[in-house]
Amino acid sequence: MIACALPALAARRRCRRVFAASIVCYLFITGFAWAAGDTEVAETTDKKGKYSIHDYKARFRPAVWSVFVEGKIETVTSFGNKLSVTFDGDLGYDDPYPTFNGDANFRRGRHDFWIVGAFFDQSESAPINVEFTIDDTIFNVGGVVDSEATLTDINFRYGYSFYDFEEDGFRLGPTVAVSYTNISVEVTELTVAGIPTGARFSYEDTYPIPTIGVHAEVPYDNFLFSTQLGGFYFDAGDWEATGLRADVGVTWRPYNNLGFFAGLKAIYADLDFGDEKIDDLLLWGPAVGLEFRF
């Protein structure tokens, strides 16, 4: 089901720039990894010593993620006319929002276990320039729409590598995961004086969302280039979601147990609620943090 959803998504949605960059980086890193696997090194012991320094038993990476929000709500007016309401334009989400992101990784040979957490909580106010409808609730021109969106995502991920640093100089393999994702959205119409008019939409729930993908890691001296790319599909009955998750980054580790991480993280989704749809929802942005490994 998931495998069928990804080609369908690619066929019907235009590729966004952040995922294009992520895929290019992934192809570059994996291509470099394959090339590294074909390179013969005369001194095997030197090779093992060179690459095995990037292995670890446990790794913790707290980071700050600056999130840009893009996307649009496909809805209708009270007359039934189709209308698009954009997050970064009509609802005022046009600035990056610093938020928390972190992961813990445990490695045993070619097996990896990740616990990845992300939290996003932001509210905005913007004048209503066009009448629109959400869940049969009409928001009228002339007022102010006050919106708040919260996303809490805990991702449990397992990965297997067909290659390892000690023997091959890189890691590459599939991943499977499930995310427990809490989504909370509230949209309230205010008058010019800031008084609620009664037009209000709210939604909150938690869902287990499965993901399958690939991961790769390629070391170079004290630097480690890494990427993960995965796709998901989820049907909750009254709505369904299809999307991608991407992480691309590099870690510089001047010390054995301490490093500095910088990268790009993104979550892309199409959400279908029946009468309304959220198309091209994209949470993306740079992430920087520390890396502790043991």
Name the least confident of 1-10, 43-52, 106-115. 1-10
Interval 135-152 mean pLDDT: 81
Going by pLDDT thresholds of 50, 70 and 90, the confidence category of residue 145 is confident
Task: State the pLDDT at residue 17.
Answer: 47
- What mean pLDDT comes out for the span 140-148? 80
| Helix (H), strand (E), coil (C) string for the chain | CHHHHHHHHHHHCCCCHHHHHHHHHHHHHHHHHHHHHHCCCCCHHHHHHHHHHHCCCEEEEEEEEEEEEEEEEEEECCCCCEEEEECCCCCCCCCCEEEEEEEEEEEECCEEEEEEEEEEEEEEEEECCCCEEECCEEECCCCEEEEEEEEEEEEEEEEECCCCHHHHCCEEEEEEEEEEEEEEEEEEEECCCCCEEEEEEEEEEEEEEEEEEEEEEEEECCEEEEEEEEEEEEECCCCEEEEEEEEEEEEECCCCCEEEEEEEEEEEEEEECCCCEEEEEEEEEEEEEEEEEC
pLDDT in tens, 166-203: 888 899 999 999 999 888 888 887 765 556 665 777 87
Q: Is the pLDDT of residue 276 over 90?
A: no
User: What is the pLDDT at residue 56?
Assistant: 86
> What mean pLDDT comes out for the span 88-115?
90
The per-residue pLDDT for range 223-254, each reduced to its tens digit, is: 999 999 999 998 877 778 899 999 999 999 89
Summarised one tens digit per residue, pLDDT across range 12-36 is 444 444 444 444 444 544 454 444 4
The lowest-confidence range among 40-44, 64-68, 133-137, 166-170 is 40-44
- Any idea which of 67-71, 190-194, 207-211, 242-246 has the lowest mean pLDDT? 190-194
Average pLDDT, rounded, for the chain: 80
Q: Which domain holds residue 270?
A: 2-293
214 is written with which tokens?
Answer: 């690939």
Would you say residue 1 has pLDDT above 60?
no
The pLDDT, as a whole number, for residue 198 is: 59
The number of folded domains in the chain is 1
Confidence (pLDDT) at 192: 54
CATH number at residue 9: 2.40.128
Full-prediction pTM beyond 0.75? yes
The predicted pLDDT at position 184 comes to: 86
Task: Out of 75-79, 98-102, 112-116, 204-208, pick the least confident.
Answer: 75-79
| pLDDT score for 159 | 97
pLDDT of residue 51: 67
In the block, residue with structure tokens 């509230």? 186
Residues 86, 119 contacting (CB under 8 angstroms): no
